A and B are shown apart, each in its own frame.
Chain A
Amino acid sequence: MALIHLAILLPLIAAIAIGVIYRYYKRLHLGWFVLPVPLIIVIYLLTLVPRVSNNQLIYESLAVMPRIGMNFDVYIDGLGLLFAILISGIGALVVLYSIGYLSHREDLGSFYVYLLMFMSAMLGVVLNDNVLMLYLFWELTSISSFLLIAFWFMKERSLYGAQKSMLITMGGGFLMLGGFILLYIMTGTFSIREMLNQVSAIQESPLAPLAVVLILFGAFTKSAQFPFYIWLPDAMEAPTPVSAYLHSATMVKAGIYLVARLTPLFAFSELWVWIILLGGLITMAWASFNAIRKDDLKAVLAFSTVSQLGLIMSLLGLGALSVVTGANEEYFSIAVVAAVFHLINHATFKGALFMVTGIVDHEAGTRSLKKLGGLLTVMPVSFTLTLITALSMAGLPPFNGFLSKELFLEAMIHVGDANFSALADVAFIFPLLAIVGSIFTFIYSILLIYGVFFGKRTYDTPKEPHEAPALMLISPAILTVLVLVFGFFPNVLSGTIIDPAAMSIMASDTPLETHLYMWHGFANPALWATVFIVITGTLLFYFRDKWMFIYDYHKDRFTLNYLYDQGLIYSRFGSRKITDSYMSGFIRSYLVYIFLFFIVMGILTLLNTGIRISFDDMAPVGIHEMAVVLIILVSIVVILGTKSRMVSIIMLGAIGFSMSLFFVFFRAADLALTQLAIETVTTALFLVCFYHLPKNSRHQERMRFKLTNFLVSLGVALIVIIIGLTAYSNRLFDRISEFHIENVYELAAGGNMVNVILVDFRGFDTLFETLVFGIAGIGIYSLMKLRLNRKDGNNEEHAEESRI
């Protein structure tokens, strides 16, 4: 248990304390008590930056379940540290923001407990070296995210969104666990660092493609990539601080983290590169295209998040490409830098944008773009923040988004240079998708600024809008300042944060010496791409009324949401159909299943083992025995055929007495006695019940019904006979009764062997048989006497009790 373990678990510990504080002290906003937690963590993590940037890695182990190799191994390198700082830093800002956003009337205790739980889980994901532990924390993020989305659980949309995100991310997480287990099978370890030493084992294993697909399922569902992005827009029902924190800056980047972390393991795989590269780009273009038609601010931001995540994902694909083609291709190793840099940028500007959206929602009472407009003069500070961050998102100079976008476009334009399978043939697709995605990104960024702050002032907002209190503005302001700082001085990051992170993605030890700067010269194609994007975007934005109709063709029926909803409905419908089809509620059907199963298994077993029946070792048959057999057969036929209850009871008695005759013939005196007595009692019992029993012993049954019954019982009878004969013909060893016979007098001082066995050698059987008898007696007595649910007046008290 080292300090870093404590840092990861601190939010969880704090969550417990917060619950206690919330009960007893309500004067101060609970958020103030929460705020120190992420602050302490971020300060502690920042002290680690110099060590990590000097390539000193931090490793602390803590055995949790060492037998199965599940240890809480914390491993801090550039990548983990970058994510951890993002999580705790933005966590602190979000807590600060939520103090202004959530009022005392909300259930603050639950909110902060969930939030702290999430923070702990997220730190656990990014700082872990053990994949099993990573999976544990991964699911904890899903659970806490589920709780946070459904924070306003009285709203149906919240529950829908929470369920959807839960199903998708948990499903993905579960597949990912499969991938991890495959990795363990291939390498024999759960530690990522030790897997790195065995990359060759993974390369040679035929399981590798399956592991790639399974792990990417986890990453794509969590990071809302195509086609799993559908949960993210619905997760916007969460409170805005949650959306800002979970669904823009941290949780959705868990998938990115996973891909980045495992890139050195899987980069050799073409599957890995293709899926990430193409999947990311398609996500980017598709989501940015769809963002424009939304009129809810948070929905626009949700799609924009999906799109930006796609961008980062595709850059990681290029990074993997650089590993597989030999790390020297400059453009592709620069792609990793771009991915890391854009990750930071996105966290800053998207966090700020969400917070500003929350402010607008909070102050104007609506998030609908149709109702908002002309707030420029009313909310100047929010406008400034939105302007800077949205332009950064659009990728315009001089903000940080421009730098990373530039690197992205540059890398995508040069992708055809790579010497990698069929890449050169389809190379045109990459810049095309990148540029299309960027154009739409530009349009919705402008739309965001224009729709809220410019245009005609509409007066149909639920509240009279005014500028937010300073408390809510601090966090977005800090993030906006970071956008500017990273934009103008990107090199404060490059040596300290970006390079170590990029190095751990590439698994290389040589420093990259990245140098980021605004101006790349006119020869750079990315510059012209940006110019083209801005011009096209502006034109499209200006004439948007002319072409927006194309979204009308995109009917609801063809969306993935529709597919998901229908899938859910049909799986529910289908499983009910299946269950209804066999769980009929008729006891007869269940008996038929049981007996059919018996028949089928019997036949299969007999076929497998073969039937060997010999008739050698049989006792002779006497005439009196044959007579008894005949009596039994006749009785059976009568029972099967008769309708009268009387006849069937008597015939049953006849069979019982014949059985005792059998016991006499077969030298079982005690059995004969018992059988005789018991049969008499049974028959008497039947006759006692006689007056109360229904007159007819059978009901009208259809022919088909009887035929099925006949076939089933015939099958059972045949199987029983065959099994009995084979068992009899194949004796494997002698009987053990010789022991009983020899020792019955010496050991137990008795002459009657059956009785000695019953009470001495195997006395326990008898004890519990007596118990069974007693229980049956008590059961019968209570059945006859106890009448709890009678509805007449004098027994109402009892009726109450029985219901309880």
Chain B
Amino acid sequence: MELITIILSGILIGSAVYMMLSKSVLRIIIGTALLSHGVHLMLLTMGQLKRGNIPVLDEEVSNYSDPLPQALILTAIVIAFALTAYILVLALRSYRELGTDDVEQMKGVPHDD
């Protein structure tokens, strides 16, 4: 299973990179969202998958899956969400002000100096 999730997170990150390299702001934002998904998956995988129960204390269970990566990912999800929301609004605002969502056009006319 870990092999598959690692490859999947690799694909997620790779496609995130592809999206981030495009010209459209919307695609760049989607790329960052994909990137965060890929990273979360990778984090979870590194803590080993499916080895034990949900990490909630239970008298009958002695084998729990690793709670630490889960805590880390929880933090990361929230931060990634804050970031996505912020850049989304930023993109919206810049689209309104500049009238374009093409990052190459945002650069403006190339000047000489």
**A interface vs B, CB < 8 Å?**
585-588, 591-592, 595, 615, 617-622, 625-626, 629, 632-633, 636, 639-640, 645, 648-649, 652, 655-656, 659, 662-663, 665-671, 674-675, 678, 681-682, 685-686, 689, 692-694, 696-699, 701, 708-710, 712-714, 716-718, 720-721, 724-725, 727-728, 735-737, 740-741, 744-745, 750-754, 757-758, 762, 765-766, 769, 772-773, 775-777, 779-780, 783-784
Nearest chain B CB to A11 CB, angstrom units: 43
- The answer to whether residues A640 and B18 also contact, given A697-B27, A720-B9 and a CB cut-off of 8 A, is yes
Contact B77 A667 (CB under 8 A): no
Q: 6 A–B contact pairs at CB < 8 A? A: A618-B3, A640-B19, A693-B95, A713-B16, A740-B67, A758-B71
Distance of A6 from chain B, by nearest CB (Å): 51
**A741 with B74: in contact, given A588-B21, A692-B92, A780-B89 (CB under 8 Å)?**
no
Contact of A585 among B84, B88, B90, B107 (CB under 8 A): B107
Q: Say whether B56 contacts A713, CB under 8 Å.
A: no
From residue B30, how far is it (CB to closest CB) to chain A in Å?
5
Q: Is the CB of B93 within 8 A of A784?
A: yes
Say whether B67 contacts A682, CB under 8 Å. no
Contact yes or no, B92 A724, CB < 8 A: no
User: What is the distance, in angstroms, from B65's C-beta to the closest C-beta of chain A?
Assistant: 5
Contact of A659 among B37, B88, B92, B104 (CB under 8 A): B37
In the complex, what residues of A have CB within 8 A of residue B96's CB?
692
A741 B1 Cβ-Cβ under 8 A: no
Beyond A587-B103, A666-B50, A740-B68, 6 additional contacts (C-beta under 8 Å) are A618-B3, A667-B54, A693-B101, A750-B57, A753-B67, A754-B70
A686 to B22 CA separation, bound complex (whole angstroms): 19
Instruction: State which of A585, A674, A776 has its C-beta within 8 Å of the C-beta of B85.
Output: A776
Q: Is the CB of A639 within 8 A of B19?
A: yes
In the bound assembly, the distance between CA atoms of A686 and B39 in angstroms comes to 21
CB-CB < 8 A to A777: which residues of B? 82
Would you give the shortest CB distance from B99 to chain A, in whole angstroms? Answer: 10
User: A736: which B residues are within 8 A, CB to CB?
Assistant: 68
Contact across chains for A753 and B103 when beta carbons are under 8 A apart? no
- Known contacts A721-B7, A724-B6, A728-B45; A773/B55 CB under 8 A: no
- List residues of chain A with CB within 8 A of the CB of B2: 618-619, 728
- In the docked arrangement, what's the CA distance between A649 and B22, Å? 16
Residue of A nearest to B38 (CB): A720
- Contact A586/B77 with A668-B70, A720-B14 known, Cβ cut-off 8 Å: no
A586 to B110, CA, bound (A): 10
> CA separation between A714 and B11, bound complex, in Å?
8
CB-based contact B85/A752 at 8 Å: no
Neighbouring B residues of A663 by C-beta, 8 Å = 44
Give Cα distance in the complex from A765 to B72, angstroms: 9
Chain B positions 69 through 113: 1 when the CB is less than 8 Å from some CB of chain A, otherwise 0? 011111101110111111011111101100001111001001000
A681 to B78, CA, bound (A): 11
The answer to whether B18 and A701 have CB atoms under 8 Å apart is: no
Q: Do A692 and B95 form a contact, CB below 8 Å, given A712-B17, A741-B67? A: yes
Least distance between B95 CB and chain A CB atoms (Å): 6
Q: Given A639-B15, A648-B30: A694 and B24 within 8 A (CB)? A: yes
Interface residues on B, range: 35 or more
Our pick among A714, A757, A783 for the contact of B67 (Cβ within 8 Å) is A757
Residues of B with C-beta under 8 A to A656: 33, 37
The residues of B with any CB-CB pair to A shorter than 8 Å are: 1-24, 26-27, 30, 33-34, 37-38, 40-42, 44-58, 64-68, 70-75, 77-79, 81-86, 88-93, 95-96, 101-104, 107, 110
Pick the contact of B37: A655, A668, A727, A737 (CB < 8 A): A655
B100 nearest CB neighbor, chain A only: A694
Cβ-defined contact, A667 with B52, below 8 A: yes
Contact of B64 among A686, A745, A753, A773 (CB under 8 A): A753
Q: B20's closest neighbor in chain A, by CB?
A: A591
Partner of B24 from the list A626, A699, A716, A776 (CB cut-off 8 Å) is A699
Q: Which residues of B contact A709 (CB under 8 A)?
A: 17-18, 21-22
Give the residue of A619, A639, A714, A737 whose beta carbon is less than 8 angstroms from that of B50.
A619
Residues of A within 8 A of B89 (CB): 689, 779-780, 783-784
Cβ contacts under 8 Å, A645 to chain B? 26
Q: How far is the CA of A736 from the CA of B71 in the complex (A)?
A: 13
Q: Which residues of A contact B11 (CB under 8 A)?
A: 633, 636, 717
Contact with A639, one of B13, B30, B48, B95 (Cβ below 8 angstroms): B30
Residues of A within 8 A of B44 (CB): 662-663, 666, 668, 671
CB distance from B48 to the nearest CB of A (A): 7
Q: CB < 8 Å: which of A620, A648, A769 contacts B1?
A: A620
Asked if residues B107 and A720 are in contact (CB atoms below 8 Å), the reply is no
Contact, CB under 8 Å: B75 / A744: no
Query: B22: which A residues are within 8 A, CB to CB?
Result: 588, 698-699, 701, 709
Tell me the bound Cα distance from A721 to B11 in angstroms. Answer: 8
Which chain B residues lie closer than 8 Å to A710 at the CB level?
A: 18
Bound together, the chains give a CA A595 to CA B14 distance in angstroms of 10
User: Given the complex of chains A and B, what is the CA–CA distance between A769 and B67 in angstroms?
Assistant: 18
Tell me the minimal C-beta distance from A158 to chain B in angstroms.
Answer: 26
Taking CB atoms, residues of chain B closer than 8 Å to A586 are 103-104, 107
Report yes or no: A619 in contact with B48, Cβ–Cβ below 8 A. yes
Q: A674-B77, A784-B93 are in contact. Are A667 and B65 (CB under 8 A)?
A: yes
Nearest-neighbour CB distance to chain B for A521, whole angstroms, equals: 71
Asked if B95 and A674 make an inter-chain contact with CB atoms under 8 angstroms apart, the answer reads no
B17 to chain A: closest residue by CB: A713
Q: Which residues of B contact A648 (CB under 8 A)?
A: 26-27, 30
A438 to B46 alpha-carbon distance, docked (Å): 83
Contacts of B9 in A (CB 8 A): 720, 724
CB atoms of A671 and B57 under 8 A apart: no
Selected contact of B75 from candidates A675, A728, A737, A765, CB within 8 Å: A765
Give min CB distance, A648 to chain B, whole Å.
6
Contact between B45 and A779, CB atoms less than 8 A apart? no
Q: How far is the CB of B41 from chain A (nearest CB, A)?
A: 7
Q: List chain B residues, Cβ under 8 A from A655.
A: 12, 34, 37
Partner of B6, one of A619, A728, A775: A728
When the two chains form their complex, are residues B95 and A694 in contact, meaning their CB atoms are under 8 A apart?
Answer: yes
Q: How far is the CB of A690 from the nearest CB of chain B, in Å?
A: 10
- Please, how many angstroms separate the alpha-carbon atoms of A529 and B88 in the complex? 88
Contact A754 B110 (CB under 8 A): no
Across the two chains, which residue of chain A brings its CB closest to B78? Answer: A769
Residues of chain A within 8 A of B8, CB atoms compared:
629, 632-633
> Given A666-B49, A674-B74, A735–B68 Cβ distance below 8 Å?
yes
The residues of B that contact A675 with a CB separation of less than 8 Å are 77
Chain A residues with Cβ under 8 A from B50's Cβ? Answer: 619-620, 665-667
Q: Are B33 and A652 in contact (CB under 8 A)?
A: yes
Q: Which residues of A contact B1 (CB under 8 A)?
A: 618-622, 625
- What residues of chain B lie closer than 8 Å to A713, measured between beta carbons? 14-18, 21
User: Closest Cβ of chain B: how far from A117's Cβ, in Å?
Assistant: 36
How near does chain B come to A661, taking the closest CB pair, in angstroms?
12
Q: Provided the pairs A588-B21, A669-B56, A728-B6 are in contact, do residues A716 and B103 lie with their beta carbons within 8 angstroms?
A: no
B49 pairs with A773, CB closer than 8 A: no
Minimum CB–CB distance from A774 to chain B (whole Å) comes to: 9
Question: Once bound together, how far apart are the Cα atoms of A662 and B44, in whole Å?
Answer: 10
Min CB distance B34 to A, Å, is: 7
* A709 and B55 alpha carbons, distance in the complex (Å): 41
Task: List A contacts of B92 (CB < 8 A).
Answer: 689, 692-693
